[in-house]
Structure formats: C-alpha cells, structure tokens
Structure 1
Amino acid sequence: MQRPLAILLACTACAFAQEKPVAEVNASTMAASVRRGVDFLIADQNPNGSWGGATRTKGLNIYAPLPGAHHAFRAGASGLALSGLIDSGDTRPETLAAIEKGGAWMEAELPKLRRADQTTTYNAWGHAYGMRALTRLYKTAKDDAAKEKWKRLAQEQCDLANRYMDINGGWGYLDIYDGLTTQKPTGITTCFTTATVLLAMREARDVMGIKLDDRIVKASVASVERQRTPDFAYVYSHSHIYRPRVPINRPAGSLARSQACNATLRAFGETKVTDKVIHEWAERFIDREGFLSIGRKRPVPHETHFQISGYFYYYGVFYFTESVEFLPAAEQKAHAEKLAKLILFRQEKDGSWWDYPLYDYHQPYGTGYSLMAMAWCQKKLVPKS
C-alpha cells in the first residue's frame, strides 16, 4: 500500500516544485531567492512564534512518542527557521517581527526540552539548532542584558545536551534496540547527530563564550573518528563500524554526513582532515548530488540508492558550507557558486525548500538550512560595497 502513496506524493511534489535550470548565479538572483524564502517563513510561522507541527501526516510516519518527540521536532525546525531568517539579513519590519516572536518562543520553550521518553533522544536536534538560533540572537542583540540572556540560555542547552550523551560518546536519536532502560542513553550513536551537536556547541563557544565540557567533547569527537572510514566516508552509526561497506556506508551514502563530520573533526583539531580531503568531498557532493536528490520527497526512509533518505539532502547542503569554510578564502568562491546554483535550482514555487515529508516540519527546516547556506554563498560571491 505504500507504493501508490509514494507515487502520489512524488507527483504532487513535482507539481509544486520549481526546479528550473539556473543560467547565472549573481547578486540579483540570490537576493530574490532569499527574499522568497524569508517570505515563506514569515507566512508559515505559527502564532506562538514557532514553526512546524504534528499535522500533515501520511501513511508512514516517523516514530514520535507523544508529546515530547514533537516538542523536539518543533524546537529543531524552529531553530533552523529562525537561524535562516536572521542569516538572511532581511530588515523589513515583518521579518524583524517574526524574529522577535521566534526568539520569545525559544526563550520560553527551549529550557523545557527533554527526551520524549527513554526510546528517543530527538531532543539532541532541538538543543543543537536551538543553540544555533540563540547564537544568532546574541550576535544581533542590541544591549548587554539581552546578550547575557541568550548566552545563559545557550549554556543551558549545551548542559542539557551533555546530559544525554551516549555511553559510546556522542549523540543519537533512537534508543529502542537493546531493550535497556537507562538514565544514560545506550542507543544508536550516529556520527552526524554528534557532528550536529558539536558544531553548534563550537559556534556558541566561539561567539558567546559558553563553556564546553572537555570530557564530553573528547569522547564525542572520538566517536565520530571511530565511525570514519579510510576514504573519509562515515558509517551511519556506531554499530555500523562492523559493516563499513553496506550501501549506506559507502561514499555515495555518506555524501551529506561527510560534510558535517569532516568539519567537526577539523574544527576540533584532527589533522587527518586536510584541505585536500575537504576539497575532494565538496567536489564529490556537487558531482554526485544526484544520488541524494533521488531520495528527496520519498516518504519511506532509506528506500533508494545507497539507502539514502530524503532528509539527508538539505542537511548536506548546509554542512557543505561548514566544511568548505575551512579552506583558504581564495578556494571558497568556486564552491560557493556551485552550491548557490544548486540551491536556486531546488527552490519551490512557494519559496520554500524541502526534502522529506516530516509531519509539518519539513518546509521550515529545509528553508532554514537553505537560507543559511545561501547567506554563506552571498558572502563569498557578492563583493562588499
């Protein structure tokens, strides 16, 4: 019964997609794209200032214990949407009002974020992308009192994330396979969830000066390193270390993960991740993006080539920028132009970007990732006046 549903959703997706070839990437086309994305997020924002919700369900839904899983999904999606709005640089009154509402929701709701129950740690995504948003609110704050508020909240999110680090080091999102009920998670430590949390912590530390727990960082970086293969692909999770060449763990299956994981290891001092490695994986991401794209908008996770899921797509787009940022400035422009062309090509008619039908969270998170990535491209491609 899932196949007809998949076909129907694929046809619907095509009807609403833009996906027109981009002849030229320039300041005008990028600015217009960003504005359309911002307009979408303003219109899509919930009255309480958040984005997304537990609606628009389909025949196959991601496991989400109520109500906490959806609090985590909404925190993650809202953090990304708010970060995208701020990075856009849009100063229209309606944009500033949406940012203020989003910040108020973050202030009220992030301190409440915990794991839904002992079977999931989706809250790791909320802590990570909450920190991303708080970092941007800090940078744009007008006075010291506001800056101190955002810093305090970010430190709290960092400390909460530490509480849920897996016994293998790092973070995962499910804890359902070993039959154990433990205070400390013993589930699936995934390299990309770990990279997501660590890079958010690093940004918050570098911008706001929050304190990181060195033991947590060391154990988590070591977890990512253990999941690295010699060709700088990264296996899906800690248990996959023993199956490094099943399809999902091959380079094509790791296209998105390698961007985040290479950036993480480089950020925390791993010398094996050289400029050459980052450049080669950036080129590979662009050249083989089609593998990721085949998985976009399919409702069944891991059903396509190399067991790729749709939700790998814009994750990889954003972390491409985090990885390439480590290259010499002179080398970043060419990568930025290729990525900008890709982002422009994938934008939907309504101004959003999305890759996987996840309740009602997919458009805000995809648009948030894309706006942050496009803002990075603009900085590399548009000369300052």
Structure 2
Amino acid sequence: MKRSFIAILACVASVAAQEKPTEEVNAANIAASIKRGVDFLIADQNENGSWGGPTRTKGLNIYAPLPGAHHAFRAGASGLALSGLIDSGDTRPETLAAIEKGGKWMETELPKLRRADQTTTYNAWGHAYGMRALTRLYRTAKDEASKEKWKHLAQEQSDLANRYMDVNGGWGYLDLYDDITTQKPSGITTSFTTATVLLAMREARDVMGIKLDDKIVKASLDSIERQRTPDFAYVYSHSHIYRPRVPINRPAGSLARSQACNATLRAFGEAKVTDKVIDEWADRFIEREGFLSIGRKRPVPHETHFQISGYFYYYGIYYFTESVEFLPADQQPEHAEKLAQLILHRQEKDGSWWDYPLYDYHQPYGTGYALMAMSWCQKKLKNG
C-alpha cells in the first residue's frame, strides 16, 4: 500500500513538473509564435470572411437556439480572430487579404446581430468583440471615409448592446431558469459579460469618439460593484451576490473574472482598484494559473475545481493585459514576460490556442485572444 502511494505521488509530481512552462521568452520565439497563430487564422478563415461555425458537435453541446445563437457565436469569434490578426502587425499580403475579408463580413453581418430569442443574449459577445474589431479597423484605415464607416458601425453596435442591458444593470447571456421571458432581459447578468461589453465600449469611445449612454454605463458599473467581494474577487453573476463563498465565487474561481472586472472599474474611475490590487491579482493569476488550466478542454462547463469552465482560460489571458496596462510602465514588462511564457507553452501544434470545445468557434476565439495578448507582451518587452 505504501509503495502504491509513493508511486501515485511520483506520478502527480511528474505531471506537475511537465506542466511547468519552460519555454524561453525572447523576441525570436514570440515573433515565431505570433506568425504561427496568424497562419492558423488565415487557413481557418471561412470563404465569406468570418471564422467558426455550428459544426464539430459532440455529445454535450452548449444551448444555442437557431439560427441567432450561432450568428452571435460567429460574430464574437470573428471579432476576436480579426482583432488578433490586426494586433499581430503582420503585413504579409495574405494577412492583409484576410483582414480585408474579415472587415467586409463585419460590415455586412454585424448590423443584423440580435438576440436569438428571449432565452439568450449571446449577442452581447458579438457586439463587444465586434466593437473591438471595428476599433482596430478604424485605427488602420487609410482614409477618412473608411474611418467614418467603422465609427458608424461601432456606434450602432454600442446602441444595440444598450438595448439588451439587463434590468439589474449590465449584461448576461442566458435567461431561461425562471420560465419568465421579458422584452428587457431579466435573466442572469454576469460580472464578466458586463466587463467585456463596457471595456469594448470604452475602447471604441476613446479611439473613435463614439457616444456612450451615461445611465447605461453607471447601471452596469453598479452591477459589477455589487458583485465584487472585499478581496476583489467577483461572483459569477448577480444571482450569486448572497453566496460569495461557494467555490465558483472564491478567489481561485475568479482568477479570470477579476482581471476583466478590475480593469473595468479602474477604466471608469473607481479609486478602490489601486495599482496594488491590480499587481496582486496579476501575480495571483500567474501563480494559480493551474486552476484555470485544469478546466481547459473539458467538455462539461464548471465540472472542475472551483467550478471553473475551460472558456475562462484565454479570456483571462487577454484581460490580464487589459488590467496590467493600468500599472506604471516600468512594472509591466515583468508581468508580460511571465504571461508570454504561458502563451508560448499553451500553443497547439497547428499554431492555434483553444480552451473549450464550442462547436467550431473555439480555435478562432482562443487564437484571437492569445494573439492580442502575445502582441501586447511583445510590445511591452520591446519597450522594457
């Protein structure tokens, strides 16, 4: 029995050792990683310029009312993939062609995006990451007419997102647990979906000058604040505010949410989110990344430690950069180096990154998140 126990411990130690990132973080490795990710997205792009689709189903598939849910998933995945391509700075002809195709899809399809029905608001993800892509298309546009076009589309996406704000402030993605359907969503507003939308709106405002609805912004910030615990963990959703210490709401369960929510409150002027808070949560993210990683690629949401789902992994990776961006410039390179090592370690053999098997959207969205994050790391390490 003792011998068996020792053998088990040895196996566990071996697995732990294998999980420790050992990749060397240098300019050449980062550039090569980014190129591989870009090459994957170019090859994976649909003929119409989008990314992802409702294929690669499995025994357990995320609830997705047809056809609107998949329009939302595709809009979100395409927005992330396109943003990743643009942030990469890759100027090869094939990359520029993929960006142009992606932009045309955004121009045609984003204005059509609505919620699928009264049980879901997955469109919030499409509006948010659509705005992220439009902001980047605006930045890289060569003429004023193009800039005005992207700005108009971004304003439209912001206004559409406003329409679907929850009655409790902020945004969620499901409204099917109480058998009540309402014109104004009244389901589960979540801290992280709200942060996702608000940060996209803020970037679009700061870059393009779109107008935000102050009442919508305040109600949504108040919703995030109600979901914050004293240690700057954030509960999963508004319905969890009276259960702040069930596993999903503890600090380990909030590793990814805290990156996005701290960044959001800080971005809109919340003094409580100090540099110390951001620095501590960045360190915590790196040190406890294993909790997020255990959830990667598991097909059942919330089945692992602290009820973490796989789809939080690259979400957290990206919003880590949004949060650390608020630290003094001389503190950012250290965090960037640690994050870059994780991203290098997690890249797949085909050049993609993915964390949760979501139909055929997971590789585009994961690769988009990772490319944006790695490009940020590249910039910080170059300037550090």
TM-score interval, normalised by the smaller of the two chains: over 0.9
Q: Can you list the C-alpha shifts for 1:179-226, whole angstroms capped at 9, x where unaligned?
A: 222110000000000000000000000000000000000000000000
Q: Residue type matched to 2:293 in 1?
A: S
Answer yes or no: is the 8 Å Cα contact 1:22–1:344 preserved in 2.
no
Q: Residue type matched to 1:130 in 2?
A: G
Q: Residue type matched to 1:93 in 2?
A: P
Answer yes or no: is the 8 Å Cα contact 2:23–2:344 preserved in 1.
no
What is aligned with 2:8?
none
Q: Is residue 2:33 matched to residue 1:33?
A: yes
Counterparts of 1:277 and 1:255, CA distance in 2: 13
Counterparts of 2:129 and 2:184, CA distance in 1: 22
Q: Residue type matched to 2:219 in 1?
A: A
Shift of 1:322: 0.2
What is aligned with 2:289?
289
Counterparts of 1:266 and 1:177, CA distance in 2: 32
What is aligned with 1:352?
352
Counterparts of 1:134 and 1:68, CA distance in 2: 21
TM-score (normalizing by structure 2): 0.94
Counterparts of 2:250 and 2:205, CA distance in 1: 33
Q: Is residue 2:324 matched to residue 1:336?
A: no
Shift of 1:383: 3.9
Shift of 1:277: 0.2
Shift of 1:19: 7.7
- Uncovered stretches (5+) of structure 1, i.e. residues with no partner: 1-17
Counterparts of 2:21 and 2:343, CA distance in 1: 11
- Uncovered stretches (5+) of structure 2, i.e. residues with no partner: 1-17
What is aligned with 2:198?
198
Counterparts of 1:228 and 1:179, CA distance in 2: 28
TM-score (normalizing by structure 1): 0.94
What is aligned with 2:258?
258
Cα gap change, 1:56/1:40 in structure 2, threshold over 3 Å: closer, same or farther?
Answer: same
SS in 1 for 2:39: helix
What pairs up with 1:120-159 in 2 under 5 angstroms?
Answer: 120-159=120-159
Shift of 1:177: 1.4
What is aligned with 1:237?
237
Q: Is residue 2:101 matched to residue 1:101?
A: yes
> Structure with the greater relative contact order (CA < 8 A, sep ≥ 6): 1 or 2?
1
Q: Can you list the C-alpha shifts for 1:161-180, whole angstroms capped at 9, x where unaligned?
A: 00000000000000111222
What pairs up with 1:315-330 in 2 under 5 angstroms?
Answer: 315-330=315-330
Shift of 1:268: 0.6
Answer yes or no: is the 8 Å Cα contact 1:19–1:347 preserved in 2.
no
Counterparts of 1:137 and 1:317, CA distance in 2: 23
What is aligned with 1:3?
none
Shift of 1:23: 3.8
Counterparts of 1:23 and 1:119, CA distance in 2: 44
What is aligned with 1:211?
211
Counterparts of 1:20 and 1:214, CA distance in 2: 45
SS in 1 for 2:183: coil
Counterparts of 1:381 and 1:231, CA distance in 2: 30
What is aligned with 2:5?
none
Answer yes or no: is the 8 Å Cα contact 1:354–1:363 preserved in 2.
yes
What is aligned with 2:304?
304
Shift of 1:22: 3.4
Counterparts of 1:139 and 1:123, CA distance in 2: 24
Q: Can you list the C-alpha shifts for 1:25-84, whole angstroms capped at 9, x where unaligned?
A: 111000000000000000000000000000000100000000000000000000000000
Counterparts of 2:174 and 2:375, CA distance in 1: 32
Answer yes or no: is the 8 Å Cα contact 1:19–1:346 preserved in 2.
no
Cα gap change, 1:53/1:19 in structure 2, threshold over 3 Å: closer, same or farther?
Answer: farther
What is aligned with 1:374?
374
Counterparts of 1:178 and 1:184, CA distance in 2: 15
What is aligned with 2:87?
87
Counterparts of 1:19 and 1:288, CA distance in 2: 12
Answer yes or no: is the 8 Å Cα contact 2:49–2:98 preserved in 1.
yes
Counterparts of 2:178 and 2:326, CA distance in 1: 38
Shift of 1:325: 0.2
Counterparts of 1:47 and 1:80, CA distance in 2: 17
Query: Any runs of at least 4 consecutive aligned residues in structure 1 with deviations exceeding 3 A, and if so which?
Result: 18-23
SS in 2 for 1:99: helix
SS in 2 for 1:162: helix
Answer yes or no: is the 8 Å Cα contact 2:23–2:345 preserved in 1.
no
Shift of 1:24: 1.7
Q: Can you list the C-alpha shifts for 1:81-123, whole angstroms capped at 9, x where unaligned?
A: 0000000000000000000000000000000000000000000
What pairs up with 1:110-125 in 2 under 5 angstroms?
Answer: 110-125=110-125
What is aligned with 2:7?
none
Q: Residue type matched to 2:198 in 1?
A: L
SS in 2 for 1:242: coil
SS in 2 for 1:225: helix
Cα gap change, 1:259/1:21 in structure 2, threshold over 3 Å: closer, same or farther?
Answer: closer
Q: Residue type matched to 1:288 in 2?
A: R
Q: Residue type matched to 1:114 in 2?
A: R
SS in 2 for 1:354: coil
Counterparts of 1:162 and 1:107, CA distance in 2: 20
Answer yes or no: is the 8 Å Cα contact 1:191–1:237 preserved in 2.
yes
Counterparts of 2:196 and 2:62, CA distance in 1: 20
What is aligned with 2:59?
59
Counterparts of 1:139 and 1:26, CA distance in 2: 28
